[in-house]
Structure 1
Amino acid sequence: MRTGILSEVEDMIVDEVPIALVYNGISHAVMMATPADLEEFALGFSLSEGIIAHAGECYGIEVENGPGGVSVELEIASAAFMALKERRRSLAGRTGCGLCGVDSLDQVCRPLPALAPARGFHAAGVRQALGAIGARQELTRLTGAAHAAAWCGMDGVLRIVREDVGRHNALDKVIGAMARGKADPHDGFLLITSRVSFEMAQKASLAGVSALVGMSAPTLAAVELAERAGMTLLAFARGDNFVCYAHPQHLAVDT
């Protein structure tokens, strides 16, 4: 109904299916996600969740479609697989855990890499990326129900853009694409269309990215993490405006 008038129209709805991530034959997690760019999603998830330390520990990825969803089979290094099995063993018998693969409070905050200051991070590049991201959000335009994440050059050129019904999934897809393309994490910044939560900031930090821009609000935990990691964090980034919450000394502005 629109303006009080009933009508029948065609509509586009975003797809969301169960995605099982299977490591060396053992299922580890089932995520609800948009079934696109799944190899990148699986690799990015593996990196951002600390299952593997670098892309070289993943030897192969195969995507298999089934009647109940999609299975993504990953072959990873023996040492990484043994560590994953030990993590799963510590979770045996537990239910309702709020963070996937986390058994105790000291596992929530993972050791963060020492991030070098972002090289050439400039407000003009942020404005350029903000002005370009809308045209690259095809799924959002069609359905209105997707988040986007982008890897941007310091000049604001969008190098990688991925969308998903889940904001974490969109970011993992970008991180996976960066790893597959051997992108230098200090050579650009991440832009996300969602709020900047603790998990989003932690994923960016663990990917080695020195600058993160969010189009919505940050959480206090995300700001504190960015401060500790040395990551420049911008949020409420819309149009020509944004707020810098952490390490503003690493952001060049127009004079």
Structure 2
Amino acid sequence: MMTNDMIDLPVRRLGLAEPGDAALFRSIAVEAPVSVEVGGIGYAVMMATPADLDDYAVGFALGEGLVETPEQIGRIDAHAIEGGWALRIWLPPERNRIALERARKRVSESSCGLCGIENIEEVLRPLPAVTARIKTGRRAIAAALAALGDHQPLGRATGAVHAAAFCAPDGAIRLVREDVGRHNALDKLVGAMARAGIDPATGFILLSARCSYELVEKTVRAGCPMLVTISAPTSLAAERAAAAGLTLVALARTDAALIVGDPHGMIA
């Protein structure tokens, strides 16, 4: 069976510590090149899971600063092409000019978020200050962590994708998106929230991923006041979160979590 998010692959189980060689099928996550075009111009090629591409388009456009609201997107077209997928975003003329200028600066693209940026100053440009506040606490973080697995059908089936979840202050999970790329999963989540009219300022984001600086920046630009990640942060992620006033919790596991920064005392 094959869908946009996973396929069943014939494999052979090899017994190592225990016997039990067997022929079987294993569900694996689909990873495919997704060509992102904006206004008819090639903008980026991302390796992604080609599901929820409308959400991805909205989140990508917001994260790249191509639009300020989803309403500024005229149309989204997504369809399979030879070797991958084409994702076409159509914008009004004034927003297309922004996209064209950004595209000119890109010499290549990858999920790292750096390729095509011309200098270190541009990478480290100041982020907008986080102004939203929520009241939450350890019980909410624990509740979200405990519930996350129930919202990861692709993750349970394949064991090979990341999840990005938006959680209410009490830890209730409101929305989840999955992808082979942690950046893509977060873009999909932000896009899905925008399309559903869910305000990122009203809760926190939980990621099943290492906390790199790009994830901090995407969270801040979305207007969300708190980011929780299952793995550790990088030094730049911690620095950028502190500078923007983002509450950052990392190494969040069932037994403990690490508060990297809580500048506004939101965690009780």
- Whether TM exceeds 0.5 here: the answer is yes
Name 2:61's counterpart in structure 1. 46
Instruction: Name which of structure 1's ranges 14-23 and 98-107 shifts more when overlaid on structure 2.
Output: 98-107
Name 1:196's counterpart in structure 2. 211
Q: Does 1:231 align with 2:225?
A: no
Provide the secondary structure at the position in 1 that maps to 2:227: strand
Question: What are the superposed Cα offsets for residues 154-183 of structure 1, whole Å, 9 maximum, x if unpaired?
Answer: 111111111111111101100101111122
Alignment check: 8 A CA contact 1:148 1:170 kept: yes
Question: What are the superposed Cα offsets for residues 16-35 of structure 1, whole Å, 9 maximum, x if unpaired?
Answer: 11111111111111111111
Name 2:154's counterpart in structure 1. 139
Question: What are the superposed Cα offsets for residues 133-167 of structure 1, whole Å, 9 maximum, x if unpaired?
Answer: 01111111111111100011111111111111111
The code of the aligned residue for 2:235 comes to L
Residues in 1 aligned to 2:120 and 2:59: alpha-carbon distance in whole angstroms = 23
Name 2:11's counterpart in structure 1. none
Residues in 2 aligned to 1:156 and 1:90: alpha-carbon distance in whole angstroms = 40
User: Shift of residue 79 of structure 1?
Assistant: 2.2
Question: What are the superposed Cα offsets for residues 88-117 of structure 1, whole Å, 9 maximum, x if unpaired?
Answer: 2244xx468861441221221344222125
Provide the secondary structure at the position in 1 that maps to 2:206: strand
Alignment check: 8 A CA contact 2:242 2:263 kept: no
- The RMSD of aligned alpha carbons is 1.8
Name 1:8's counterpart in structure 2. 23
Q: Does 1:157 align with 2:157?
A: no
The code of the aligned residue for 2:181 comes to G
Provide the secondary structure at the position in 1 that maps to 2:252: strand
Alignment check: 8 A CA contact 2:41 2:100 kept: no
Name 1:217's counterpart in structure 2. 232
User: Shift of residue 36 of structure 1?
Assistant: 0.7
Alignment check: 8 A CA contact 1:123 1:251 kept: no
For structure 1, list consecutive stretches of 5 or more residues without a partner in the other structure. none
User: Pick from 34, 47, 51: which aligns with 1:32?
Assistant: 47
Question: What are the superposed Cα offsets for residues 24-57 of structure 1, whole Å, 9 maximum, x if unpaired?
Answer: 1111111111111001011111111222222222
Residues in 1 aligned to 2:128 and 2:103: alpha-carbon distance in whole angstroms = 24
User: Shift of residue 248 of structure 1?
Assistant: 5.2
Alignment check: 8 A CA contact 2:108 2:115 kept: no
Name 1:80's counterpart in structure 2. 95
User: Pick from 81, 85, 92: which aligns with 1:70?
Assistant: 85
Alignment check: 8 A CA contact 2:39 2:91 kept: yes
* TM-score between the two structures when normalised by the length of structure 1: 0.92
Name 2:192's counterpart in structure 1. 177
Alignment check: 8 A CA contact 1:147 1:193 kept: yes
Change (3 A) 1:172 1:5: same
Alignment check: 8 A CA contact 2:132 2:224 kept: no
Instruction: Name which of structure 1's ranges 112-121 and 36-45 shifts more when overlaid on structure 2.
Output: 112-121
The code of the aligned residue for 1:218 comes to P
Q: 4+ residue stretches of structure 1 with deviation over 4 A?
A: 94-98
* Greater relative contact order, per chain length (Cα 8 Å cut-off, separation 6+): 1
Alignment check: 8 A CA contact 1:117 1:250 kept: no
* TM-score between the two structures when normalised by the length of structure 2: 0.88
For structure 2, list consecutive stretches of 5 or more residues without a partner in the other structure. 1-13
Change (3 A) 1:50 1:78: same
Residues in 2 aligned to 1:252 and 1:112: alpha-carbon distance in whole angstroms = 22
Provide the secondary structure at the position in 1 that maps to 2:135: coil
Name 1:247's counterpart in structure 2. 262
Alignment check: 8 A CA contact 1:23 1:75 kept: yes
User: Pick from 216, 219, 223: which aligns with 1:208?
Assistant: 223
